[in-house]
């Protein structure tokens, strides 16, 4: 009996080691197999005119009951609310492979989107009203393949975001300052939105800042295409901030592969390997290094993910000059959703929740001061 038990233990050890080897050498292939949609592509029509006039088309906006963007973690003070209007595009929450575009009514995707809005968009609720649209997002698997269906899915999703943004602009005061913010897929849609719908229009002068977080932004191609500079100092307005958080050792291959599959701003050529734009939220500026003592507070989630608490001095941050990644040093304990390669993608905002809150408030004050000074 003892010998059989030892054989069983040995077999389990071999199976665990074999699984570890499979994950180490074929993790990308397994991820693609698990998430890339297998169904035929559905060419969805545009949403009906006036769709975003409906309250249920928004996760967050003034008047929404139990608005997740209005969440305040333990240890954070609400204070007075500013006069800006925030348009936030949430990251990918549709993980199934039944469709290339997540149905707006999918309950699992809605649940995850609400959690993302609570942990990410809530950092912006101090500067003004927060609007977060529901949209037919491209499935997670669309970022793991170069099949043409992926770009078609992103085009449908972007059409929804553009429609939501047009409604947002129409509903807010004509001269109100605007904060654009998004994470991952949301940041990608905002990058395109700024390039196609904001640059060179009166809206451009109203932008306090654009926070394109969790998605690579090329300083040489994307910034010129958007017509906005990098947020290279704490008081600059009308600028772009972007970062991607990794602990060491970092392997950003999957993220960069997804980015290189996207068309360049001019629609021609391929993405080249270059350092990405790296905004250091602990410095309020691009580049540089800051110790953990500079961290005003990470929002560390509870085990059930339904709440969080502010923990000061949680992590340091260093912009790596060679890659543009925001390096965290040793892996911090934030929860179970760290992606392969020590990618803290899900925690890009929670790691610097209080710092981001302070950053956008500071830029709002700078924008208001400059606008008041420019008035005759």
Q: Report the alpha-carbon distance of residue 348 to residue 325 in Å, rounded.
A: 11
List, as one string, the DSSP characters of 26-54.
HHHHHHHHHHS--SPP--PPPPPTTGGGS
Q: How confident is the model at residue 28 (pLDDT cuts 50, 70, 90)?
A: low
For all residues of the chain together, what is the average pLDDT? 89
Whether 32 has a pLDDT exceeding 70, the answer reads no
Q: Given its phi and psi angles, is residue 128 left (phi above 0), alpha (psi -120 to 50 degrees) or beta? A: left
Q: Which residue has the higher pLDDT, 180 or 271?
A: 180
Whether 93 has a pLDDT exceeding 80, the answer reads yes
Alpha carbon 174 to chain centroid, angstroms: 27
Q: Which two tokens stand for residue 147?
A: 């099949």
Q: Which two tokens stand for residue 50?
A: 């006036």
37-74: pLDDT as tens digits? 887 888 999 999 999 999 999 999 999 999 999 999 99
Q: What is the DSSP letter of 305?
A: S
Q: Which residue has the higher pLDDT, 270 or 173?
A: 173
Whether 142 has a pLDDT exceeding 70, the answer reads yes
For residue 249, say if its preceding peptide bond is cis, omega within 30 degrees of 0: yes
7-19: pLDDT as tens digits? 333 333 333 333 3
| pLDDT in the model for residue 243 | 98
* Residue in the block written with tokens 């000074």: 373
> Considering only CA atoms, which of 109, 74, 26, 88 is closest in space to residue 311?
74
């Amino acid at each position: 009996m003892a010998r059989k038990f030892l054989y069983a233990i040995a077999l389990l050890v071999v199976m665990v080691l074999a699984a570890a080897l499979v994950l180490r050498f074929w993790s990308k292939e397994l991820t693609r197999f698990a998430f890339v949609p297998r169904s035929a592509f559905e060419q969805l029509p545009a949403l009906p005119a006036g769709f975003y006039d409906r309250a249920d088309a928004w996760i967050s906006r003034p008047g929404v009951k139990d608005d997740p963007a209005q969440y305040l973690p333990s240890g954070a003070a609400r204070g007075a609310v500013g006069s800006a209007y925030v348009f936030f595009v949430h990251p990918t929450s549709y993980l199934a492979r039944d469709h290339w575009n997540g149905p707006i009514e999918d309950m699992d995707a809605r649940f995850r989107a609400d959690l993302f809005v609570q942990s990410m968009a809530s950092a912006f609720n101090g500067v003004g009203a927060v609007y977060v649209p529901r949209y037919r997002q491209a499935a997670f698997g669309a970022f793991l393949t170069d099949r043409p269906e992926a770009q078609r899915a992103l085009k449908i999703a972007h059409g929804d975001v553009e429609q939501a943004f047009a409604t947002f602009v129409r509903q807010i005061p004509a001269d109100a300052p605007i904060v654009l913010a998004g994470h991952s897929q949301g940041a990608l849609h905002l990058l395109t939105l700024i390039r196609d719908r904001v640059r060179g229009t009166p809206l451009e002068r109203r932008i306090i800042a654009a926070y394109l977080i969790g998605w690579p932004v090329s300083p040489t191609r994307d910034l010129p295409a958007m017509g906005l500079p990098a947020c290279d100092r704490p008081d600059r307005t009308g600028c772009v901030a972007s970062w991607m958080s990794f602990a060491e050792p970092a392997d950003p291959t999957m993220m960069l592969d997804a980015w290189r599959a996207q068309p360049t701003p001019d629609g021609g050529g391929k993405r080249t390997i270059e350092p990405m734009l790296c905004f250091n939220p602990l410095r309020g500026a691009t580049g540089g290094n800051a110790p953990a003592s500079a961290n005003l507070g990470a929002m560390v989630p509870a085990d059930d993910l339904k709440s969080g608490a502010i923990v000061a001095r949680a992590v340091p941050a260093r912009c790596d000059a060679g890659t543009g990644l925001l390096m965290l040093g040793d892996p911090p304990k934030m929860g179970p959703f760290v992606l392969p390669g020590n990618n803290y993608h899900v925690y890009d905002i929670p790691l610097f929740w209080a710092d981001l809150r302070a950053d956008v408030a500071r830029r709002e004050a700078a924008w208001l001061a400059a606008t008041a000074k420019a008035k005759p």
